[in-house]
A and B are shown apart, each in its own frame.
Chain A
Amino acid sequence: MTVWCLVELDGDAAADASLRALTLARGLLPDGADGGGVAAVVFGAPPLADLAAYGAADVYVVSGVDGYAPQAWARALTELLGAGRGPDGARHAVVAAGTEHGNEVLAHLGAITGLPMAANCVAVSASASGGTALDLVRQRWAGLLLEEAVLEAPAALLTVATDAVGAAPAAAPVSVTVHEVAAAVSGADLAVRAVETPGGTGGVSLATARVVVGGGRGVGSAEGFAPLEELAALLGGVVGVSRVVTSEGWRPHSMQVGQTGTKITPDLYLACGISGAIQHFAGCSGARHIIAINTDASAPMMTRADYAVAGDLHEVLPALIEALRARG
């Protein structure tokens, strides 16, 4: 059995979501598979230290595709999957992060090969019913609901939820063998490709920020965000908002946290004036710590947070900013 894992890059390093995918991929290897690690697939310069730490014994570096072209990436994976089919007829797997790229590439791979694809898995194991089937648990409703399912296919195509599987390195780093492969892609595969231009977020993006200061209806107006922005800057974070804020036009949709916005996984989510609709929790439940500030102590966000401050954010935040500045 070969477990392939598409590894995305964030700068020079492996993307956090891909480290989570590698962690789940490693769990698919048969017990005691010594030497047989995960086969990482990278389009670009391979982050070898990360890959060794996470148990990718073989690294396939694909050339022939310049930049992000989802169908071409999937075509390259199709070839590797075909070449990797062992004489044992064993099941293979292709794992990717449940990001926009990961889900998109694996859906193309599923369409090209006619294989089913399970998006945003949180756990996968050999099926209790035996055979080559896999039992899996995957997210529905952006994680508000879990689906238990059986996947029976010659190769399992899986993406890994970005906010539910922790990234854990292998017990010991593995030695990595790098394989250079040229993708045999057609013009049609390359026809749809990303042209990248710098975004307007000034570096720190909502999805990967370590601190997110969230604002909801309680902020009251577009102008009301000034203290949230000041605090976010002080903490080296960014501002995120609830759906009501974008519906009111106070802030653009690109800042929305939730099921139909961005899923965040910061160390701290400081939710200010957000009552906590279930769809909002779908976006922020991956935060390691949640602090809520709200005038309504019975709001879901206040009861489900780790820490709660009862009060008006327009009183608490300026006082907090002052206290932080006083500390220097």
Chain B
Amino acid sequence: MDILVCVKRVPTVGGAITLTADSRAIDTKASGFTISPHEECAVEEAVRLVERFGGSVTIVSLGPVEAQEQLRACLALGASAAVLVETAPGVETGPMATAAALYSVAASGAFDLILLGNEASDTGGYQVGIRLAHLLGRPVATGAKAIAVTDDGSSLSASRSYRGVTETFTLPLPCLVTVKEGINLPRYPSLPGRLRAKRAAIKRIPVAATGTAPAGDVRMTRLRVPDAPRKQATVLGHGAAAVPALVAVLAEIGVIS
């Protein structure tokens, strides 16, 4: 089974988000970079499937040259090959253009399964996987918290929970699935894995060479951090002594009568 996993380099966000002077990007001078938890799980799921069926896991990322760091991290987890579709530094690519660029890589190989995170943790566009599926003319399921592939590898079922019920979608392969954190518990990279990843060759394709035309995506003008309600918490007391005040607040809010 040959699997393609799409990942995105994003800043590691810790205590607070600060922006660059032009308010068009997150200030990353003091932060590291990672991929989203959903995507870590997509990589893990792909590696497990190849452990079961044989085959290969290829990782693709659209991003700046530094995104090789994230591709190597995925190789260390057991992926076999990595492709970087390289963008100019500081240029943000919208979801339509991203899907088109990923399509050029996805269509160049005979992938049985393409996995993505349900949404990128930074831009949260919720659409790249679906747009890629339509470009490829393949079925897609999103938000999967479990994937079960039949023994003959001909179809899979992807399930998730929605409004208290479990929804299960059955898809023939080849297909796309976007996954969410919780589908598995990703492994830590092994030492041999890290050494192999360090030496691995990463295929680099300039985004211009993918022949994707500029798409009519939503145009970001600026970013802003929402005003945090600078409210001062009312301290109800310490330990069990605070219980009478706590009960009074519960009644005031209306959760007890």
Which A residues lie at the B interface, using CB under 8 A? 10, 15, 68, 70, 98-101, 103-104, 106-108, 110-112, 115-120, 136, 138-153, 159, 191-199, 201, 203-205, 207-208, 210-211, 235-237, 246-247, 249, 252-254, 256, 259-261, 267-268, 278-279, 288-289, 291-292, 297, 300, 302-312, 315-316, 319-320, 323-324, 327
Contacts and interface: CB of A to CB of B under 8 A. Distances in A.
Contact of A116 (B122, B216, B238): B216
Given A148-B223, A149-B220, A254-B145, A308 B165 contact: no
29 contacts: A99-B162, A101-B162, A103-B119, A104-B130, A106-B127, A110-B131, A111-B130, A116-B94, A116-B95, A116-B96, A141-B122, A144-B13, A146-B225, A149-B218, A152-B216, A195-B170, A197-B168, A205-B163, A253-B145, A254-B161, A254-B182, A256-B182, A260-B181, A267-B253, A267-B255, A303-B233, A316-B246, A320-B243, A323-B247
A145 B26 contact: yes
Going nearest first, the 3 A-B pairs with the smallest beta carbon separation are A253-B182, A107-B127, A311-B239
A59 to B, nearest CB: 21
Given A104-B130, A192-B139, A309-B242, 5 more contacts: A145-B223, A201-B164, A246-B182, A303-B233, A316-B243
A319 B240 contact: yes
Contacts of B218: 116-118, 136, 138, 149-151
A304 B96 contact: no
Contacts of A120: 124, 126
Given A144-B13, A146-B224, A197-B165, A310 B229 contact: no
A100 B236 contact: no
Nearest to B175: A192
Interface of B: 13-17, 26, 36-38, 94-96, 99, 119, 121-127, 130-131, 133-135, 139-143, 145, 160-171, 180-182, 185, 215-226, 228-229, 231-240, 242-244, 246-247, 249-250, 253-256
Contact of B233 (A147, A197, A305): A305
A4 B215 CA distance: 24
Contacts of A104: 126, 130, 142-143
Nearest to B235: A308
A292 B233 contact: yes
Contacts of B164: 198-199, 201, 203-205
Contacts, number: 256
Contacts of B133: 111
Nearest to B15: A278
A268 B253 contact: yes
B52 to A, nearest CB: 22
A311 B182 contact: no
Contacts of A249: 185
Contacts of A198: 164-166
Nearest to B242: A309
B256 A307 contact: no
